[in-house]
Structure 1
Amino acid sequence: MVWKTLLRHCISQPAAPRRQDPATVAALRQRLAAAGHEKLGRSLAIRHVAAGSCNGCELELRATQNLIYDLTQYGLSFTPSPRHADVLLITGVAGGNMIAAARQAREAMADPVLVLAMGDCAVDGGVFKGSPAIAGGAEAIMPVDLFVPGCPPAPAQIIEGLLALLEVNDILPARPVRVPR
C-alpha cells in the first residue's frame, strides 16, 4: 500500500538547473584564449587523479569539456598519462589507499609541475576532515600551487582556477593561490 502512495505523489522537488550567465562564459573564453596562447604557445595537458572522491567534482570537471565551455578549443586537454601532463589535478580527500598513486603520478611528470587541488575535500578534507582514514587533502601529500574550493566547484570556477595558473606565473608560484568562492 505504501509504495502505491509513493508512486502517485512526488515527495521530492526537482533540482534547480544551474545556469551560467552567457556574458561570464564569453569573458572566460576570451581570457582563457589570450592567456593560453600568450603563456603556453602550445597545449596544456592536465592529468586528473581522483584520490577518494564522491565523483561530484569529476562531473563538474567533465562539464568543462561540454559545448558551453569546451576547453579543448583553447589547447587545454586531459591526458591519461602523467608523462605528458603539465598540471596534476587532484580531487578527493586523499584517502590512505590513493596517497601512493597520487605521488607516483607526480613523480612521473616532468618538471615544472603545477598541482591543483579541486573541491573542498582536496583543499582540506571537507566534511571528512579529522578522519583517521584520510590524509586531510592534497596538501598533506604534496605541495599544492592552486586551491579551487567548492563542493563541487562550478565549471566556471574550475576555469577561473586554470586561468589563475596561467596568469599568475610562467613557472611554479612561490605560494599557493586560492580561488574565491
Structure 2
Amino acid sequence: MYVERTRNPPRPHLKGGLPVAPVPRAVIDAARRLTDEDEIQAMMAEAVQRRFCTTDMLTHELDQAGRAGTALPRKALTPLLAGARSVAEADAWRLWQRSGLPPGHWNVPIFDANGNYIATPDFWCDEIAFAWEIDSYRHHANLEDHRATVARNARYVAAGIVVLQTLPSRLRTEPDEVERELQAAFRTAQARPRPDVEHAA
C-alpha cells in the first residue's frame, strides 16, 4: 500500500460498504507509480475498453494531478485519445504516425452500401477504403475466433476493401518491414476505384 497526501481528494464511491476512489482517479494514481509505459497503457486501455471510464475522464484526472509522475501516463494516453484500445494498437498508431500516410480512424464500424455491417477494423483510412488489422496468435487460439476472422476477411473481400493483417510482435521487431508493407498496401488501395462503403460517424 502506498500513502500520499493530496490537496485534491476524490469524492469516494461506496463499494461493499467501503469508500473507494472513482475509476479514473484510481487509474491515474496507479499510473503515476508505474515506470513501464506498456503497463500504464494496458491499464488505461482496459479501463476504457471495459467502459469503466473514458479517455476524457483520464485526461481530466491527469490535468488535476499536476506534473509529478504524469509524463509517462500522458505519453501512454495519446494513442488512446486517437482511438487505440490496446498496447499493440498504440504501437500501430505510432508506426502509422511515422509512415507519413494520411490520417484515419481507429476502431470504427464499416458498412456496405446497403447498410450491412462489414467489420470494425483496428485502423481505417476512409479516403481509399483501406483497413489495417493487428491480429495476434492468441486471438486466433480457438476455432471460433479463427472462424470469425475468416468470415471477417471474406466480408472485406466481398466489399472490395483492401486489408493488411499484421502480427503485434512485428510492430516492434520489424517496424521498417511493416511500414513498407503498409505503404505497398496503401498504394494498392489507392490504385483501384474506391468501393461504396462507409464508416459510422
- Does TM, normalized by the shorter one, top 0.5? no
What TM-score, normalized by structure 1, do the two folds share?
A: 0.34
**Between Structure 1 and Structure 2, which shows a larger proportion of helix residues?**
2
- Larger relative contact order (Cα-Cα within 8 Å, sequence gap ≥ 6): 1
What TM-score, normalized by structure 2, do the two folds share?
A: 0.32
State which structure, 1 or 2, has the greater radius of gyration over its C-alpha atoms.
Answer: 2
